[in-house]
Structure 1
Amino acid sequence: MPLYKEQGIVLRAIKLGESDKIVSILTQGSGKIRAVAKGIRRTNSKFGARLEPLTHVSLLLYQGRNLDTVTQAEIISPFRSIRADFELIAAAETMLEAADKVAEEHERNVRLFLLLLSGLRALDERPLDPEAVAESYLLKLLSLSGFHPSFSACAVCGTPGPHEWFSAGQGGIVCQADAEHDAGRVAEPAVRWLDGLARADLMAAGDMTPELQTRREARAMLFGFVEYHLERRIRSFALLAR
């Protein structure tokens, strides 16, 4: 079995047998991998907390037929600030889960890795509004996946906005003439808020805070759009919306 080095962010871990775990890791060079961490659940494990979700790690692995095996792991960043605050954890969990849904096993995606790393670093700086960082991250993830919603012009005919209708299935805001049955009315402040988050740097997004009603409406639009186009339910959305 060939031995290889990687760096990655631990997305999740599940128990395997009495003392092992299978960890899912988004790596920089090998895409998402699943690897066995043997003996990690023992009190004297050499891994300790190095392979807990929400950890940036340097890895040495054996490549297996179905699952790789972690032989060494060293922490690059534990993101301690995030772990100390529930609101930051909720935002980070949303990022991890969304990345996990998008990433393909053993399919290199450096841009996705760097986006997730940038998002976690922004949260680790304890921003004023962690939810805004997570929402900005989701919009960038959509763009990276080829599903960027239209906020400035009708997604169907291209007529410049503002428009009062939004449809996940049609790709964003739509004019009244093109709005289909699934389109819903939206207020302009919610559309402007999402457009601003899409354009903002992740570090800067954390300094942006909308009115409560604007956030509620924008969040409903964004969450629906994400789940529609990724064709996955994102369970962490419930944490972010608390």
Structure 2
Amino acid sequence: MLYRMEGIVIRGTDYGEGNKIITILTPSHGKQGIVVRGARKLKSRYSSLAQPFTHGDFSFFKSGQLGTLSSGEIIEPYRELREGIETAAYASYAAELCDRGIGEEDAGGYLFHQLKACFAALAEGKDPQIVIRAFEMKIAGSAGYAPLLDECASCGRTGVPFRFSPAAGGALCGNCRHKDPSAMELSDATWKLLRLFAALDLRRLGQISVKDTYKLQLRAAMRKWMDHHLGLKLKSQHFLDQWERLADRPVPEQQPPRSPEAAEGTD
């Protein structure tokens, strides 16, 4: 049977001699596996359509688990995401979250549009740490693990200081802190950002300037949440962790060059 649908490439695997199997996330048919014949050959007319992160229109025949590409065209190549190490790292992580963190029953139109908006924001040069933290919240929600942030996950109290507890389900008030001694203390600004990310449609994400201190708290909170509830070991996550740790290192202060007179005075 011939299918035609919009999709974003979230995974690609070499297959046979010169072929690739790609997985696309679609707004109407979840995730679809498609064989693109000759995609690894230099003169292939569809090699660019099989590139990671490509948003395209795909026509394919399908009778079993995998389809075979018949024709297609690129809607948005997102070439910028493959050209820089940083953008490629964040885009790869977002794509792998969709591939491995979301089941077929949860891979619908909402997630497709959130991934598309995530890629667009990264390509536009928006702060990748903020973009990816917001997208992690979309993944958590789509997988059925959205944190409770406005009331205590244990007793339901509101309007009181909270700690963040992945084990308890989100916010934990002072009276319930004993239920998770490892619950994280977060700044008010970090709580506001978490609530913003939970409610935000990424298609409406503007430019957000966030202090490094709050970025570190956001990263730690979302990493603990994702590890506890999804438990994924992603190749892209390992690389991204190393990249972000490297970015956090302070740049050594440059000593001003010594004048010739000062240098002579040391002899």
Quickly name the TM-score band, shorter chain normalised.
0.7 to 0.9
* Residue in 1 that maps onto 2:79: 80
- Tell me which residue corresponds to 1:186: 185
Call closer, same or farther: CA 1:216–1:59 in 2, change over 3 Å: same
Q: Work out the number of aligned pairs and report it.
A: 240
Question: What is the match of residue 34 of structure 1?
Answer: 33
- 1:66 and 1:143, CA in 2 relative to 1: closer, same or farther beyond 3 A? closer
Report the alpha carbon displacement of residue 146 of structure 1 after superposing the two structures with TM.
Answer: 2.4
Indicate how the Cα distance of structure 1 residues 222 and 107 shifts in structure 2: closer, same or farther if over 3 A, else same: closer
SS at match of 1:177: helix
Q: Counterparts of 1:202 and 1:115 in 2: how far apart (Å)?
A: 6
Structure 2 partner of 1:209: 209
SS in 2 for 1:178: helix
Structure 1 unaligned residues grouped into runs of 5+ = none
- Range moving further from structure 2, 63-72 or 102-111: 102-111
Q: Deviations over 1:171-216 (max 9, x none)?
A: 1120233232463231223323322333445366452232222211
Higher relative contact order (CA 8 A, sep 6+): 1
Instruction: State the shift of 1:106 in Å.
Output: 7.9
Counterpart contact for 2:145–2:229, Cα < 8 Å:
yes
CA distance in 1, matches of 2:81, 2:198: 23
Q: Is the 8 A contact 2:6 2:57 kept in 1?
A: yes
With structure 2 as the length reference, what TM-score do the two structures score? 0.80
CA distance in 2, matches of 1:47, 1:207: 35
Greater gyration radius:
2
Question: Over the residues paired in the alignment, what is the CA RMSD in angstroms?
Answer: 2.3
Check 1:25–1:112 CA distance in 2 against 1; reply closer, same or farther (3 A cut).
same
Task: Give the TM-score taking structure 1 as reference length.
Answer: 0.88
Q: Which residue of 1 aligns with 2:264?
A: none
Q: Give the equivalent residue in structure 2 for 1:229.
A: 229
Pick the structure with more helix per residue.
2
Structure 2 portions without partners, runs of 5+: 245-267
2-structure distance, mates of 1:133, 1:108: 20
Where 2:216 maps in the other structure, the secondary structure is: helix
Equivalent position of 1:175 in the other structure: 173
- Alpha-carbon distance in 2 for matches of 1:236, 1:225: 17
Q: Which residue of 2 aligns with 1:7?
A: 6
Q: Is the 8 A contact 1:165 1:183 kept in 2?
A: no
